[in-house]
Structure 1
Amino acid sequence: MHTKNIITGGKNISEAKKVLILLHGRGGNAQQILSLADNLNTEDFALFAPQATNNTWYPYSFLAPPSQNEPWLSSALEILHQLLEDIKSEGIAAENIYFGGFSQGACLTAEFVTRNAEKFGGIVLFTGGLIGDKIYSENYSGNFNGTPVFIGSGNPDAHVPVERVKETQKIMESMNAKVSVTIYDNRPHTISQDEIEKANELVFEN
C-alpha cells in the first residue's frame, strides 16, 4: 500500500490562488515530475506531487483487469482523494485545482478525475488513458462543467494504445469536459515540446 508522501514546490499554498497536482510515471519520482512545472505557465501555483511507494503506482499495465492492480490502485486513488480534500480545506476551490501526469501517472490522473468529476481548473494527460482491460463506465460520475483537458500521445506508443486515448476522450466529453487530443506519429514515450506548448495554450492559458 502507498504511504502518503507529498513533495511540494512553487508558491506556499497560503499565498497561492491555484494548485497543480502532478503525478509521476512508473519508475519516476515526485521531484522529477515537479520539474515539469518549470516549463508550464504555473509560476503562481502551489505544486503538489505525491511519491509512489517503490516508484510505481500499480504493478501491472493499466490495461490489465483492475483487480490485478489491487490493492495498489485503490491505495493510489485514496492518496489522491486525501490530497484533494487537504487542498480544498486550505480554501482552494476545485475550479482552481489542476492535474497533470505522465504515462502511468497520466493514467492514474485520468482515472481519479473521471471518478470524481467536477469543475476543475484543467487536466493534462501526457500519454495516458482510463484504467482497465475495458472501460468500466459505471465507475465514472460527476460533471466536468467545461473543464479543459489536453491529452497528448504517440502512435504507436509502447504502453498506451491510441484507441484507449480516444475512448478516454469520449467518456470525458460525455461528462462535459472540453477535451483536446493530439496524436504524434512515431513520437518516443516522452513529453514533447509541442505537448508542453499545447498544455500551456489550452489548460494553463490564464
Structure 2
Amino acid sequence: MQTSTAQDSESITVQPPSFVELQADLPVNSGSSCSAVVVFLHGLGDTSEGIMSIANSMRVDPGLNHVKWILPQASILAVTGNMKKRMPAWFDIYSFELPVRVPKPGEEDEAGMLRSIVSIDKLLESVVASGVDANRIVLGGFSQGAAMTLLTGLTTAHKLAGLFVLSARLPLRNKFKSMASTHASSVPIFWGHGTRDPLVSYKLGRACADFLLTEIGLPKAPYPGAPEGLSFHTYQALTHSVRDDELDDLTSWLKKILPPLEAAQHTSN
C-alpha cells in the first residue's frame, strides 16, 4: 500500500477549511488544559453550526472535558444530483442512487474528494503544529462528512487516535487499496448505521465496512465499542440521522480513545 494520498496530491492548490472551535469544557481553576481534539465533519447541505448541538451533547460529558472540538465548514458547490443547487458539500454527488457494488471510475467526483482530502489534511497538520499529537486527535463525521473521514483518516500520513463514521459509505473503493496508508489497518473506527437509512442504505454501509475488514485488513473490534479495530453498530429503525442511543455509544467510545492525558500516560507506562 502507498503511504499518503494527501501527500501525493500536494500539487492541488487548496486551503484548509474554515471552522468553528468549541474549547475544552474544563472546570474553573482545575489546572488542566486541552489535551485532545475531535474534528467533526458535517454532512451534505449542513454547516458547522448545524452540527454544534450534536458536538455539545457529547462535549459536556465529564469524561471529555479535556477535549477541544473543531467543526470545519465545507465549501459551497453546485450538486449535480440535486438539480445543481448550491449548498455546502465536501464533493459533488452525481446521483443519490448509491450502488452497493463498487462504483466504476468516473461514477464519483474523485477530483473533488481529493481536494477535500488535502484540505482536511492541512487542517490536521495545523492541529499537530499547535502541539497536539496526532495520536490525540479523532476525526469523525456524518454522511458525506463521514465519507471524507474515511478517505482522509485512512490515507493521511498522521496516525490518528481513531475515526468515527455515522451513516457512512466509503467512496473510491475501486482504487482505495492503493490509497490507504501503511497504518490504516491499525486505526480504530466507530461505525454507526441505521437499518432504515434511505440515502446511504444499511446494506451499502455494511458492504463498505466489510471492504475495510477484508481488503484493507482492519481487524473486527473484539467487542462492541472496543477502542481497537472496527466496531460496527447497528441501530434498528434509524433513518439517515443520529439519535441519543447512538451518541451515547459514541461518547463511551470516545472516552476510551481519548482518556485524560494523565490516564493515557499511566496506561502506557
Give the TM-score, by structure 2 length. Answer: 0.66
Aligned to 1:187: 238
Distance 1:163 1:147, change over 3 A: closer
Distance 1:30 1:120, change over 3 A: same
Shift of residue 65, structure 1, vs aligned partner: 5.1
Greater C-alpha radius of gyration: 2
Unaligned runs of 5+ in 2: 1-12, 26-32, 77-87, 222-227, 260-269
Shift of residue 101, structure 1, vs aligned partner: 0.4
Aligned residue runs from structure 1 range 139-178, under 5 A:
139-144=179-184, 146-160=186-200, 161=204, 162-170=206-214, 171=216, 173=218, 178=229
Shift of residue 73, structure 1, vs aligned partner: 1.3
Aligned residue runs from structure 1 range 16-27, under 5 A:
16-27=34-45
Shift of residue 11, structure 1, vs aligned partner: 3.1
Unaligned runs of 5+ in 1: none
Shift of residue 189, structure 1, vs aligned partner: 0.7
Shift of residue 90, structure 1, vs aligned partner: 0.9
Aligned to 2:138: 98
Name the CA distance, whole Å, in 2 between partners of 1:200 and 1:117: 26
Is this contact kept in 1: 2:42–2:145, CA < 8 A? yes
SS in 1 for 2:154: helix
SS in 1 for 2:183: coil
Is this contact kept in 2: 1:94–1:119, CA < 8 A? yes
Percent same amino acid at aligned positions? 22
- Match among 113, 116, 127 for residue 87 of structure 1: 127
SS in 2 for 1:31: coil
Aligned AA (1:93): D
Name the CA distance, whole Å, in 1 between partners of 2:142 and 2:196: 16
**Bigger Cα displacement from structure 2, 69-78 vs 17-26:** 69-78
Is this contact kept in 1: 2:185–2:217, CA < 8 A? no
**Bigger Cα displacement from structure 2, 78-87 vs 121-130:** 121-130
**Bigger Cα displacement from structure 2, 79-88 vs 168-177:** 168-177
Give the TM-score, by structure 1 length. Answer: 0.85
C-alpha offsets along residues 42-95 of structure 1, whole Å, 9 cap, x if unaligned?
Answer: 322122121111211111157655654143212211111110110111111011
Aligned length: 204
**Bigger Cα displacement from structure 2, 125-134 vs 43-52:** 125-134
**Bigger Cα displacement from structure 2, 30-39 vs 142-151:** 142-151
Is this contact kept in 2: 1:18–1:44, CA < 8 A? yes
Shift of residue 118, structure 1, vs aligned partner: 5.0
Is this contact kept in 2: 1:103–1:127, CA < 8 A? yes
Distance 1:66 1:174, change over 3 A: farther
Is this contact kept in 1: 2:43–2:145, CA < 8 A? yes
Distance 1:194 1:169, change over 3 A: farther
Let me know the Cα RMSD of the aligned residues. 2.8
C-alpha offsets along residues 77-128 of structure 1, whole Å, 9 cap, x if unaligned?
Answer: 1111110110111111011111110011011101111112654222211111
Shift of residue 137, structure 1, vs aligned partner: 1.0
Name the CA distance, whole Å, in 2 between partners of 1:66 and 1:85: 30
Aligned AA (2:212): T
Distance 1:33 1:66, change over 3 A: farther
Aligned residue runs from structure 1 range 193-204, under 5 A:
193-204=244-255
Distance 1:128 1:117, change over 3 A: farther
Distance 1:71 1:204, change over 3 A: same
Is this contact kept in 1: 2:155–2:184, CA < 8 A? no
